[in-house]
Structure 1
Amino acid sequence: MGISTARPEPGIAVVTVDVPPVNALPVRGWYALADAVRTAGADPDTRCVLLTAAGRGFNAGVDLKELSGGGTPGHRALVDVNHACAEAFSAVYDCPVPVVAAVHGHCLGGGVGLVGNADAVVASDDAVFGLPELDRGALGAATHLSRLVPQHLMRTLFYTSRTVTAAELHRHGSVWRVTPRPGLAGAALELAREIAAKDGVLLRMAKAALNGIDPVDVRRGYRYEQGFTFEAALGGVGDRYRAAFTAGRPGPGREGI
């Protein structure tokens, strides 16, 4: 369990997240994922990184129980987790070779941050993507969702905390292929293999060039969003929503807003 890296074929590094029960990552998990992706991409023999997950779903975002555990004074826990997420997202985006995300089940919150920063996405037909941030007293990753869906749909999904299916994202062109769950690993590896067949030097140039012309500044966008997460925490509303979620209670509604 944890974060592991395998090399099933020449040129391909598979980074797998396995943090039961739902792949909601604590601070150390986000940093471990960032380290794994960076290490894989730094290897001159790597031409494609495949990001995948074991268990019930791809990623459930931040481990909110860690935020609500009370073990870190003040708002240090929130600052720590946001820095950790930013490191993982940047590791995927800045990976010097293409990153293919293989998504099954739930892809929520920080999971959207990872997938939105990937170069290509393959998903199983049971995959759903969404940002429940407003229901958890936070903001963030709309920057990355905007790389997956058109602007107005992104806003509707963010305001409502609704999810969107892999098939819908395929229609928008952000998911390369949708496959039945048993065929996900094979379909993702097939795409990674096709990418890894290219010249490694040219692939790294291509990744740098595409990042250089990207219309979305993912670093600045995510950092800006997180300022509002901190504001919500300082005002108390964020803590109330997180406490309700971890306790299994309905959110506090408009109280205090």
Structure 2
Amino acid sequence: MHYDTLTVAVAGHVATVTLNRPDVRNAFNETMIAELTAAFDALSTRDDVRAVVLAANGKAFCAGADLNWMKKMAGYSDDENRADAMRLARMLSAVYRCTKPVVARVHGDAYAGGMGLVCAADVVVAADSAHFCLSEARLGLMPATIAPYVIRALGEQASRRYFVTAEAFDCATAERLGLVSERVSADQLDATVQRIADALCANSPNAVRECKRLVQDVAGRTIDAALIEDTANRIANIRASDEGREGVGSFLDKRTPSWRA
């Protein structure tokens, strides 16, 4: 598929989706939102892809909304505004719900909607020079569509601060808050992302997919009888799956499992 605002490449079992509007610091517009949704929906269905890296060209990861797009939104009707917001929400969901684990490779600035992309990823590797900001309140707006992902990633208390202050914060702070999984020097960014992608691809594709879904489904739930039964059913089902049997069998037989052969 041809993209105007992205590049998508697959090497081995790793797909790399790269934001490619460097002249506007990879800011969102309608086209990028539609293309990101389509790209992640497509990658979710590819059996040859086991991990997705979300990267960006240029000096910034993503500066949020494109100014020209924002000018256009100013003249939208209520229905048009709601439809536009739903497209952005659908895009973030496509990243978050992607059946493959998503590794965000972050450099430069990740602001506003760019923060939403980062928070929708499963693993975040960031250059120590990266900066983050939920800047919406400065413009009289709020980070509503990205909130479900940001609050999960930052935690409630940090979100209460940064939603209302719109302060920028550095990579060390992002790591301390749990948003950034690994903080590395810029020259180690690609090697670290590759190491994590290799680790993901070494595991059972089905187990990785089910583990990702397990965290999303269990996080925040009350530990009650329903949850206990749900988790017992999940482990029983995966033990009986083809890859579950193959993984245990290969371990006991001291051989390489089929997905690594």
Do both proteins adopt the same fold according to a TM-score greater than 0.5, normalized to the shorter chain?
yes
CA–CA distance in structure 2, aligned partners of residues 166 and 68 of structure 1: 31
CA–CA distance in structure 2, aligned partners of residues 5 and 52 of structure 1: 10
Partner of 2:100: 97
- Residues 191-210 of structure 1: pairs in structure 2 closer than 5 A: 191-210=196-215
Cα deviation for residue 137 of structure 1 reads 2.2
Cα deviation for residue 146 of structure 1 reads 1.6
In the alignment, does 2:114 pair up with 1:111?
yes
Matched residues, percent identical?
29
Q: Number of matched residues?
A: 215
Partner of 2:13: 11
| 5+ residue gaps, structure 2 | 222-261
In the alignment, does 2:169 pair up with 1:164?
yes
Out of 33, 37, 41, the position equivalent to 2:40 is 37
Q: CA deviation digits over 1:155-201, x for unaligned, max 9?
A: 11111100222211222333121112232222112211111111112
In the alignment, does 2:142 pair up with 1:127?
no
Partner of 1:179: 184
CA–CA distance in structure 1, aligned partners of residues 133 and 73 of structure 2: 27
CA–CA distance in structure 2, aligned partners of residues 156 and 59 of structure 1: 22
| 5+ residue gaps, structure 1 | 217-257
- Classify 1:145/1:73 alpha carbon distance in 2 versus 1 (closer, same or farther; 3 Å): closer
- Classify 1:168/1:71 alpha carbon distance in 2 versus 1 (closer, same or farther; 3 Å): closer
In the alignment, does 2:68 pair up with 1:62?
no
SS of equivalent residue, structure 2 residue 37: helix
CA–CA distance in structure 1, aligned partners of residues 44 and 6 of structure 2: 15
Larger RCO, structures 1/2 (Cα 8 Å, 6+ apart): 1
Q: TM-score, normalised by structure 1?
A: 0.77
- Classify 1:22/1:11 alpha carbon distance in 2 versus 1 (closer, same or farther; 3 Å): same
CA–CA distance in structure 2, aligned partners of residues 21 and 200 of structure 1: 36
Corresponding letter in the other structure for 1:200: P
Q: CA deviation digits over 1:130-168, x for unaligned, max 9?
A: 111111221123332222323222111111100222211
SS of equivalent residue, structure 1 residue 69: helix
- Classify 1:49/1:152 alpha carbon distance in 2 versus 1 (closer, same or farther; 3 Å): same
Q: How much is the aligned-residue C-alpha RMSD, in angstroms?
A: 2.0
In the alignment, does 2:191 pair up with 1:189?
no
CA–CA distance in structure 1, aligned partners of residues 47 and 72 of structure 2: 41
- Classify 1:215/1:22 alpha carbon distance in 2 versus 1 (closer, same or farther; 3 Å): same
SS of equivalent residue, structure 1 residue 147: helix
Out of 65, 88, 91, the position equivalent to 2:91 is 88
